[in-house]
Structures are given as structure tokens and as C-alpha cells.
Amino acid sequence: MVTGAPKRLSRIVSLASAMTLGLAAIMPTSTMAAAYASPQPPASHWITSTNYRYPGNDGKHHAVSWDKYSYMIDDHHLNIWSGEVHYWRLPSPHQWRDVLQKMKAAGFNAVSFYFFWGYHQSAPDSPFDFSGIRNIDLLLRMAAEEGLYVIARPGPYINAEISMGGMPAWQTNSSLPLRNAWDNTNWQQQRAWLHAVNKIIARHQVTNGGGSVLLYQVENEELASVGPYADYVKKIIKAAKEDGINVPIFHNDYAPVGNWAFTTKDTGLDVYSYDDYPIRFDCSATRHKLQDHNWHIDPAFRAAHHSPHFIAEAQGGAFTPWGASFNASACEKFVDANFYRQWAALNNGAGVTAFNYYMIFGGTNWGWTGSAHSGFTSYDYGASLSEDRNLRDKLSAQKENGYFHRAFPQLTVMDGATDPTVRDVRGAAVKSYLRKAAGLHSLSMSGKGSQYLAFRLADSNDITRTSFTTTLNTFGPGGKAVTFPTVPQEGKLILHGRDALQMPVDFTIGDWGAYYSTGLLFFNSPMKGHPLAVLTGTGGDRGEIVLDAPHKPMVTSTHTNTANTSVTSTWDKEKKQLRINYTWGSPYDITVSMQGKAPLTLRIADRHSLIRAWSPENLLNGTMQGLLVENADLVRSVHYTGHTAHLVGSTTAPQKVRIWLPAGITRATWNGQPLQLTAVNGHYRALLPGPAPVTLPKLTWVKHEENYEANPNFDDSAWRVANIKHPRNFRQGPAFFQHVVLDANAYNFHEGDVWYRAHYTANTDDPRIWIKVFGAEGSNFLVWINGHYLGASAAVKGGVADTGLDDKSSKDPTSNLQAQPKAVTFTVPKGTVKKGEKVTLAILLRNNGQRVDWEGIGNNLHPMGILDARLGEQGNAVWKIQGVRGGIHPADTTRGIYNNGGLYGERAGWYLPGFPDATWKHATTMHANTAGVTWYRTHFTLKYPTNQDVMLRLNVLSKRFSPDRKDNAHTVMFINGWNVGTWVGNVGPQESFTIPSGFLNPTGQNEIAVAVTAEDACYGPEDIQLGLVGNWLGSVPWVENTAPTYRQLQHSLLPAYPLLRVATAK
């Protein structure tokens, strides 16, 4: 159920709570030699579900509500820390769990899913497919099992830089723009989709005990909130509620403009949210500057103050367009750890308590699922989890903030306050933030409520090293007011240019009280008896913490003091305060002992050290308990039985780890194998095994040319005649000169390569041929007349554009980025065509994907293919068209409509595993003998350990591609029948292609097929080979997707090789 705002403040519990961890007895601080046991043999079992228990999977009904501070489950406040994942961009269902576990390990407690209608329904008369790679019921179940709440976003329109913005390609033949309910036929189709997907989502709502779905979004980024826009959103909301959706419903404003803030109640929305991409998308340019949120000033936002501050899409990376001068690696650096830290300080300082990174994992536009205007095959996005599912170091910056949310849950109930004074500034101008808790007072030392301080440079692009101090007014034990005129009391606070500092004030660590800490609270285990806190900052900087100390304490350290790294402590007997100063570096302990309290351990670790530090948590004796592991590549989860902590994780090499266990836990396992633990200075040490080395097979190729359709004797009698003159979509024509619709979409050939053949009688000798086409970015076309090659169009290159909305932080990439239709004139060689003779014109055109319609004006209804032509013909030409075999009714429903285009080799199954290629010729290079299409095939065997996650790529090797991109050829590549992507040698920038693991057989034979289309002889890559990008021990099950072979589909395919004969003109 959903209950409305406002609600009383209440105590937060395990949902996003501080880790209540008790440690085994603190050992003496004398230095000991590291003692590590021998590594255990690799575990032979798979990593499966985490066994994490929380309201998202306990089977109980829970009330979801909210107040102006945050969302609540059963009146307990929750800080939603989420990341976006697109299941279709990871077409390996077993690896969905891998990504979800990595998110949970990094401190996230929620995941956002778009749902891609076109992926589930290839034709209006086809049933919805929720099986195999489309099994969203499994996806939602996995999210619940892994401890992640779900933000469900089913559209119908979702944008997401995918084909049609998520709507099915067959809707390109609609008469009106699709993002409305004006056309009843369109609306009924949308309603059917919503009903089908809502039934599944509704089963997984936290409100009915079925799962972890917590929030539900309708539509996506509508540009206005009145008139037809509002009416459309109302209809979708009504449909959702009719289908049983009873969690809070929201719409994501396209930018922080407040469009839907005033109309929330009128439209039936429960809460307000918006998207924010503050530094924009050109990864080769200067970042835009961060701007503070006007949540408390702008009247539009003030109207939404009944709901939590919610950023539904927050910039986590940036896409890379066709033809860009940079690749995804540049976007990884553009949206970097420094940005994450700056933005975390800004958003926590603005009271944002529901936040979703777009993206946390980008994935792959495999096949033709992507929209060409905003990217090519890779949708890596520069996100913290790479397209290959590897962990990038910058994930640690997000982990810092996620763990801080756990350790300092007071953030969920804070009011804004006057920004604190910044003093003694040396460097650039400093921006400060202050918030004060309106609840959870029991978690403060004073009982008056905690505070939060944050600082960044006012110019977020400034790289000036800046030092400063601040003044702090807070409270001490018993609520007595305390002022610290200068913080820190020793030295200065330091911002290293694009940097940020976050400071907890008036908080507790177990039964110890802290006035403030200049270090970020990464870990806080307030378990009575043995409290531990991890404080982090920049290596080499000084940190300071002030503790309540009514009795003289004793401070010891495991650090070897030097002049630059000394740990100092000062006890003020009168004020009853203990100040400790230290230097961040490799991790070490400061232990504080005092009469009447258990020893407190402060673990001091710089940010770099925490890249490989993890703190999983789970229920222990009915209470959420965490632990700490350092120096591990990845610790996915923990669960407890008896006195044992069962750790699950992954390694890239053998590694010595340090483990802090809760009180009462004395043993540990790693992926099911017992660990030999050695006690050292209050923690345990162990040695984790690494993966076995793997080798890559060398690929050898055979080849076969396929330019049959260019031959005038090719039989096209079974092709579709292009004879539509009155299309439903007026944008499709008919063509001015040809008098018929030539748009491939009109004939349900929506993706990939499309062949056209025109038959006519020449009206003149050797005419000039004029052709106007649109195939989107990265596309081109090749032309033959009577079998003679005329040439190719120059490839359509994309570009990098800003949003066109300079005053707002929208994610719209379309303003001046999309390619436009292109007209090309070809000169027919002398003697090729004679007046009065029959002519056959053949055109091979690449369609790289349907447009999106971010503006909601019908851009995704744009024609694709030939738009018009002037041929020098007598009378009317007869046009034939052929795309993917079966059109929107493919015989291979497993791989689906986005897997194939219309090359002969695709229609005849040359790409499928098991195709007989014994008669093909050996290939030493992929340079073309002539313009047109040549296919290459190879077979190879993998024998990888089943408990290792081996990440592979397909690398296209072309000397002409780099650096000038002058290889006038493009490919489409298949692995075991799955379309892994397309390379365009004169556009780029992609030349290395992630292979989704579900496409591969890790313990047997695999086949690769590549079609190379060259614009002339000698073009094409030298070779294509496998590349290794990851090898992890400890993986989720590696399961090859089940899909039909050549033999199983042969009945629905063309003959392997055609017989050429003269076709009768029609």
C-alpha cells in the first residue's frame, strides 16, 4: 500500500542503516609480522543468490510512504542509493546477478530498470515474450534476492538511446506521434504492453510481499506537464493502478525545471522527481560547471516540498556518438571519481535522499537494439562498471558515499541550514553546505540531532589546491551548546581542485560520542563492546576527530610515526574533549581506551586504499551486521551461520586480505571453502586463491563472397514489391519522383542491411543516377547498375552536440546530433546503359537503427532507407525490396527481431552455428577482392574453468582505421548466431567489441561469422581476433544462451547458395 505524506519522523532500521558490527577482541597494538595461511583450492561451486534478508524479500506486506525528507518503509526512513541497469544490454541472464551483486557490494541499495517494449514484441499480432534473455520476472526476482529495491520504468516510451526509444519498430508506420493517446489504435497497443509488463511488476511489489519494487515511473521526460502531455500521463497512471500498481508513482522531469511539481496532484502522480546531467556529454570538451539545486528557492520546487528530493536520473557517465574523436575510455575519465565526490557533497548538501545514477552499468547495443543517433554497439557509457562488467576504480567514490549513507543514516531526516562560514582561504573560492537532523536524535552524541558539513570549490572545474578552515556551532553531551571557532584546530582543510569533503558532526561510534570528524565516515559499527570506525580522505592530508572524553584516555597507534605521518592526541580535561590528528595513507589503526568504555578503534585509510575494501552486511541474530574486508578485489556478500561468516567474492589473483569479524563470529569461508584465519591486531588475515590462467585461441578464417543481389540475373521474384502509394505515416511519402513509398519501415524491414532492386527501361544513354537516402549515423549505401559497380556514398558520420538547453541539465542528445537525409549523384560509365534497354539497379543500404523521439513530435517515425530517386527511366520503375527474412515475424524468435538484417548470408543462415562451410576458401586477410559483401567464418574451442568469469572481446584489426579512419568498409559480426555488433572503418570510433558471455560456450565449440561490406577492392580489416579483458575466480554460473542452430532453422532459410537466372520483370 501507499500512504501519503506527511509522516512522522521515525527511527531508521536495517534498510539503509549504519552497520551494527561488533568486532572480535581488540588485540595489543604491538607491531606483528603479517601472518597469512596458505590459499585454499578454488571453489568448485557457482556463486548464486546472496541470501540477503530485508523487506524486499521477506514475503511480508510493507507500507511505503514518504515525507518531505525521504521515502519510508513501515515508517522507517530510507536513503535510496540506486544505479541504472538495462537488462537487454546484457543479453546473458546469468550475468544480471553478477552486476546486481557488484552494485550491492559497492553500497547501493536500489537498482533502476527501464523495460523495453520493442524487445518483447516483434509484431502487433505477436505475443509478448518474457522468456530467456527477456525474462524480466527472473530479473526482478534476482534484484530482490540481492538486496536491491527496484525503481520500475516501463514507459511505454523510455528513450534510453535505443531503437524507437523503446517502442516497437513496427510502430514507425503509425500516423501520429506515438507519445500520446491521440490515436486510439496506438493507445490500445500501448495499453496491451502496459498490462503485460505491469502484471509482472505488480507481482514483485514490496507492498504485497512479492518482491522489492519500491517506485514506479510513468512515461519518460515529457517536455510539458499540461494539456495533452498531462492527459497522456493520467491515462498511463490509470492503467498502472488498474493493473495493481500500488507503490508510489512518479514521472521524471526532463531537467530540474519543476514542470511536474505544480501538477503532481492533478495528474495523479504521488511525488516529483527530475533528471540531472550537469556536466553534459561531450567527453572531449570542458565539463560544464556544477550548479547548486534551487530546491528551497524556486517556486516550482517549493510546490513539491511534500515529497523527498529525488533525482531519477543522475549523470553517471556519457554516451559516445558515431564518429566521435573519443571512445568510452574518455567518458570514463570525463565523468570521474572527482565529479562523483563533488556531486555527492552537493546532493547530500541539498537534501537529496533518492538518487539514481544513469548509468552504473552501460552494456552493449548488441544487434540493432540501439538508436544510431546516440551511439554505436558499445553503450559502455564510461560507467563505473565497464561494458565487460569489470570494476573501474572510480566505483570506489560511489562506494564511499553509499557506505557513508549506511554509517550516517541521519542524512535521511535533515533540514537545510545557513551555509557555514569559510575562513583562512588560500586558493580558490569555496562553497559550503550545512544540514541539521530533524530526527534520529538518538544517533547523535548530544541528543539534539546530528549535523552534516560539506565543501567543494565554487567553480567545480577549478584545479587549484585550496586550504581553509571553518567555524562550527554544535552541541555536546546533554545538549550543551559548543562552538569550535576554528575547524580543524590543527592545520587546514584541503580541497585538491576538483574535490569535495564531507564531515559528520555530533554522532556516535558505538557508545563513544564524536563532536566532528574531518574524515569521511566510511564504516561505523556501533555495537556495544568493540566499536570500529573507518575514516578516509586524500593520501598525505591531515585529518582530525574530536571525541567526548570525560576521563583521561590512552591513545595508541599501529602506525610507524614519522615527521610527516605522526599521530598526535590532545586531551582537554576541562572541556572533556579528546582531539586526535593523523595523516591518511595506507591503512593503520588508532586505538582509544578510556575508563568505562570499550576500546575504540579508528581505522585510518586513504581513498586509494579503499578501492579494495568492502563491507557486506546481513542478518545475525535478528540484527543487521556487517564486517570489513580489506585488500580484496571484490567481496560480494556475507551470510552467517553459527559462528561462521560465509563470504562470497571474486579475485583476479591470489591476495592477502584483512578481515574484521563481528563478535561471536570466529570462522570464515570463501566461496564455500574454509579460510585459515590468523589473528593479528584485532583482525584476521587470510590468503584468497586466484584464477587459473587462460589462453586465447588463434582464429583462422575461411571466406565466401555474396554479391548475388547485385547481379542483374538474380531472381528477386519473391521479394516484396514496393508499391505503397498511401501510407498511414505521411512522412513515408510517396516519393516525389518515384511515386511510391520506398521507406523500408513501410515494408516492415526495420533494421540492418536492406537490398533494393529497381527494374526499368532507360530513357537515355548512361544517365546520371540521383538517390536520396536515410540510414542514420554510421550508415552508407553501395550501388550497382546492370551488375556494374557505380560506387558508394560517403559514410554518414555522427557528431557531438550539447543539449541545446544551455540553462538546464537535460540528457537530450538530439538537438543537433542526428544525421539528416543524404542525396548522392552517380555517373554511369559510358556504354553501360543504352536508351530503350532494360536496366536493373541494385542498392545495398545499411540502416543502423531507428531514431528516438525525445521531443515527443514523432522523430522516431522518420523513414529509413531510400526516400526517392531519379533514374532516367521511361515510365515507372518497378521497385523490389528485401530486408531481414520474415520481416517482423522472424523464424528465430529466440535471438529476435534485432539480431539480423537482410544480407543474403543472413537470410540463408551463414551466420548460424552449424552452417556447412567446408567448401569455403581459406582467408589470410579480410581485404576485399571487390566492392560488396564477403563473409568470413571460424571455429574455435574454449576450455575454461566453470567457476571463472573470463571476459572476452572481439578486436577488429585495421591499419587504416587508426588514426585516420580511412578503411572504407563495415562489418556485422556474429558469435554462435548472435549479432555482437557492427564496425565502421571510416567512421568509428569503436574497434573492440565486448562479447556477452551468454553468446559463448565456455567449455566447447564456438563459431564466429563476419560479413565485411567493402566500398571498393582492398578495403576491410587485416584480421579479427579475440582479446582477453578479464579473468576472475568466483563467478555466477556461466550459461550459454539456448538458441537454434542452422540445422534447426534451415527449413525457414533461403538455399545456402542461390541459382542465378533471369527474373521476369513486373
Could you report the per-residue pLDDT of 173-229, keeping only the tens digit for each? 999 999 988 889 999 999 999 999 999 999 999 999 999 999 999 999 999 888 888
Question: How much is the average pLDDT of 394-415?
Answer: 98
Give the chain's largest Cα–Cα span.
110
Render the burial of 124-161: b for 16+ CB within 10 Å, e for the rest. eebebbbebbbbbbbbbbbbbbbbbbbbbbbbbbbbbb
Give the Cα separation of 1015 and 781 in Å (integer): 9
The reply to whether 2-19+45-409 and 910-1035 are identical in fold is: no
Give the Cα separation of 1008 and 984 in Å (integer): 18
Give the Cα separation of 221 and 318 in Å (integer): 18
Q: What are the E-state strand segments in 316-378?
A: 352-361
Q: Tell me what pLDDT residue 117 has.
A: 99
Give the Cα separation of 770 and 772 in Å (integer): 7
Q: Judge whether residue 9 has pLDDT over 80.
A: no
| Cβ atoms within 10 Å of 529's Cβ, excluding its own | 14
User: What CATH number labels 2-19+45-409?
Assistant: 3.20.20.80
Could you report the per-residue pLDDT of 157-174, keeping only the tens digit for each? 999 999 999 999 999 999
Residues across the chain:
1066
Could you report the per-residue pLDDT of 545-577, keeping only the tens digit for each? 999 999 999 999 987 655 456 899 999 999 999
Strand, coil or helix: what is 913?
A: coil
Q: Judge whether residue 5 has pLDDT over 70.
A: no
Using only C-alpha atoms, what is the Rg of the chain? 31
Question: What is 910-1035's CATH number, 2.60.120.260, 3.40.50.1460, 3.30.2130.10, 3.30.70.2190?
Answer: 2.60.120.260
Of the chain, the end-to-end C-alpha distance in Å amounts to 64
Q: How confident is the model at residue 815 (pLDDT cuts 50, 70, 90)?
A: very low
Is the distance from CB of 700 to CB of 831 less than 8 angstroms?
no
Q: Judge whether residue 313 has pLDDT over 90.
A: yes
Q: How confident is the model at residue 811 (pLDDT cuts 50, 70, 90)?
A: low
Q: Judge whether residue 992 has pLDDT over 50.
A: yes
Residue 962's nearest CA partner among 931, 983, 980 is: 983
Q: How confident is the model at residue 700 (pLDDT cuts 50, 70, 90)?
A: very high
Q: Tell me what pLDDT residue 962 has.
A: 86
Could you report the per-residue pLDDT of 939-982, keeping only the tens digit for each? 999 999 989 999 999 999 999 998 889 999 999 999 999 999 99
Could you report the per-residue pLDDT of 370-393, keeping only the tens digit for each? 998 878 999 999 999 999 999 999
Torsional sign, CA 991, 997, 1002, 1006:
negative
pLDDT above 90 as % of the chain:
84
Q: Is 530 left (phi over 0), alpha (psi -120 to 50) or beta?
A: beta
- Range of lowest pLDDT (175-179, 591-595, 635-639, 811-815): 811-815
Give the Cα separation of 393 and 609 in Å (integer): 11
Give the Cα separation of 856 and 823 in Å (integer): 27
Which amino acid, residue 72? M
Residue 354's nearest CA partner among 258, 443, 274 is: 274
Give CA separation, 604 vs 72, 401, 629, 680, 683, in Å. Answer: 33, 17, 14, 17, 15
Q: Tell me what pLDDT residue 259 has.
A: 86
Is the distance from CB of 321 to CB of 375 less than 8 angstroms?
yes
Which phi and psi angles does 204 have, rounded to 5°?
A: -110, 20
Question: What is 707-882's CATH number, 1.20.120.160, 2.60.120.260, 3.40.50.300, 3.40.50.620?
Answer: 2.60.120.260
Q: Judge whether residue 635 has pLDDT over 60.
A: yes
Residue 632's nearest CA partner among 681, 587, 585, 591 is: 587
Grid coordinates in use for 658? 584483512
- Range of lowest pLDDT (144-148, 596-600, 815-819, 992-996): 815-819
Question: How much is the average pLDDT of 884-909?
Answer: 98
Residue 614 or residue 24, greater confidence: 614
Q: Judge whether residue 35 has pLDDT over 60.
A: no
Q: Judge whether residue 295 has pLDDT over 80.
A: no
Is the distance from CB of 58 to CB of 212 less than 8 angstroms?
no
Grid coordinates in use for 851? 531514431
The strand pairing partners of 842, in sequence order, are 757, 784
Give the per-residue SS3 of 61-89.
Answer: CCCEEECCCCEEECCEEECEEEEEECHHH
Determine the Cα angle at 528 with ends 525 and 534, to 5°.
25
Give CA separation, 867 vs 197, 643, 770, 774, in Å. Answer: 36, 72, 11, 7
Q: Tell me what pLDDT residue 562 has.
A: 55
pTM: 0.94
Q: What is the DSSP letter of 530?
A: S
Is the distance from CB of 585 to CB of 565 less than 8 angstroms?
yes
Is the distance from CB of 104 to CB of 52 less than 8 angstroms?
yes
Instruction: Locate the domains of the chain by residue range.
Output: 2-19+45-409, 707-882, 910-1035
Q: Judge whether residue 296 has pLDDT over 90.
A: no
Average pLDDT, the chain: 91
Show Cβ contacts of residue 265 under 8 Å, excluding neighbours closer than 6 positions: none
Question: How much is the average pLDDT of 21-45?
Answer: 36
Q: Judge whether residue 813 has pLDDT over 60.
A: no
Q: Tell me what pLDDT residue 667 has.
A: 97
Question: How much is the average pLDDT of 131-148?
Answer: 98
Q: Is 611 left (phi over 0), alpha (psi -120 to 50) or beta?
A: alpha
Helix (H) or strand (E) holding 213: strand 213-217
Q: Judge whether residue 31 has pLDDT over 80.
A: no
Render the burial of 45-56: b for 16+ CB within 10 Å, e for the rest. ebbebbbbebbb
pLDDT above 70 as % of the chain:
91
Question: How much is the average pLDDT of 663-687?
Answer: 95
